[in-house]
């Protein structure tokens, strides 16, 4: 009965492929998102929603709260190798709390503006930040950061509050994660070295993600199976990348982040004109 043996084989093979392939998508994108967060303290946020929608196949209503869970958990894990000397908790709390308030105002304004215009503005901000991060910085002149990882609060507090206001508002206005905005702000405005900016950015992202996820609790529709696979993979990748990032030179991290920012800016411009 050879004719009846082939179809079951094909069916078994197809069934196995169906069982394995759906899990590959959240695992692959989880590696990418977690790796970016662990290395450069940003990038995962802006990629998580498109990855969940186009890569995993979630509806947008489920992808948004899922991305907040993925990014928040991955950022928290990526913080572990940096807890002792890789971040400034006070700055993270000030900027995170201030940004959380102004992000709400940015979200209200977002609803009144053309989305294509917003995407182009966002891309322009990222390109300018990327170019600026390629330029050499003069020691710590004008910065609020001291050697020894201490902060000159008299000079720094107004800058930190202003950074939280602007970054939070832009995050709400543009509807994306703040990592691409926070890291340049910490390095260019506050004068933190890149290694310290990455850890502080991760702490801010954890705070913002928690707030965002809580705001969705009343109306959550999450694909828990794919979300858990995505989150666990992203957490593992972010932990490994975080350990690797600590050993990389400050200049390499800064230039790598600048390249990533400009690549994403190009992608955003393309998406803006495809809408």
Q: Choose from 73-87, 134-148, 226-240 the range with maximum mean pLDDT.
A: 226-240
More confident of the two residues 210 and 174:
210
The set of residues, in sequence order, having a beta carbon less than 8 Å from that of 105 and lying 6+ positions away, is: 169, 172
Give buried/exposed letters for 239-258 (b at 16+ CB in 10 A, else e): bbbbeebbebeeeebbebbb
More confident of the two residues 173 and 21:
173
Using the predicted structure, report yes or no on whether residue 274 has a pLDDT greater than 80.
no
Q: Choose from 36-45, 130-139, 229-238 the range with maximum mean pLDDT.
A: 229-238
Measure the CA angle with vertex 139, ends 196 and 87; round to 5°: 10
pLDDT at 15: 43
Give the burial class of 207: count Cβ atoms within 10 A of its Cβ; 0-12 exposed, 13-18 middle, 19 or more buried. Answer: buried
Using the predicted structure, report yes or no on whether residue 234 has a pLDDT greater than 80.
yes
Q: List pLDDT tens digits, range 9-41.
A: 444 444 444 444 567 888 888 888 888 777 776
pLDDT at 77: 85
pLDDT at 16: 41
Q: List pLDDT tens digits, range 98-112.
A: 887 888 787 778 778
Q: How much is the mean pLDDT over the chain?
A: 75
pLDDT at 85: 65
pLDDT at 184: 81
- In whole angstroms, how far apart are CA 30 and each of 26, 27, 124, 167? 6, 5, 27, 25
Has this prediction a pTM greater than 0.75?
no
Distance CA 23, CA 109 (A): 38
Q: List pLDDT tens digits, range 51-98.
A: 787 778 888 677 777 888 888 888 888 888 777 767 888 888 998 888
């Amino acid at each position: 009965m050879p004719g009846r043996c082939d179809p079951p084989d094909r069916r078994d093979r197809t069934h196995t492929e169906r069982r394995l392939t759906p899990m590959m998508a959240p695992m692959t994108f989880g590696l990418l998102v977690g790796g970016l967060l662990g290395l450069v303290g940003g990038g995962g946020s802006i990629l998580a929603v498109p990855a969940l929608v186009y890569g995993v196949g979630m509806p947008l209503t489920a992808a948004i709260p899922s991305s907040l869970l993925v990014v928040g958990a991955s950022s928290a894990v990526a913080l572990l190798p940096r807890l002792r000397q890789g971040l400034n908790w006070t700055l993270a709390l000030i900027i995170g709390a201030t940004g959380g308030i102004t992000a709400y105002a940015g979200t209200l304004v977002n609803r009144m503006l053309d989305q294509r215009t917003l995407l182009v503005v966002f891309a322009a901000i990222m390109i300018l930040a990327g170019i600026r991060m390629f330029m050499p910085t003069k020691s710590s002149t004008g910065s609020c950061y001291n050697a020894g990882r201490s902060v000159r609060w008299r000079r720094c507090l107004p800058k930190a509050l202003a950074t939280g206001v602007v970054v939070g508002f832009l995050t709400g206005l543009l509807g994306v994660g703040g990592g691409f905005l926070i890291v340049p702000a910490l390095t260019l405005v506050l004068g933190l070295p890149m290694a310290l900016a990455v850890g502080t950015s991760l702490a801010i992202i954890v705070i913002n993600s928690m707030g965002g996820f809580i705001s969705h609790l009343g109306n959550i529709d999450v694909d828990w199976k794919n979300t858990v696979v995505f989150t666990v993979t992203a957490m593992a990748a972010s932990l490994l990348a975080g350990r690797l990032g600590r050993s990389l030179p400050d200049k390499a991290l800064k230039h790598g982040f600048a390249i990533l920012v400009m690549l994403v800016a190009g992608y955003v411009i393309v998406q803006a004109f495809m809408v």
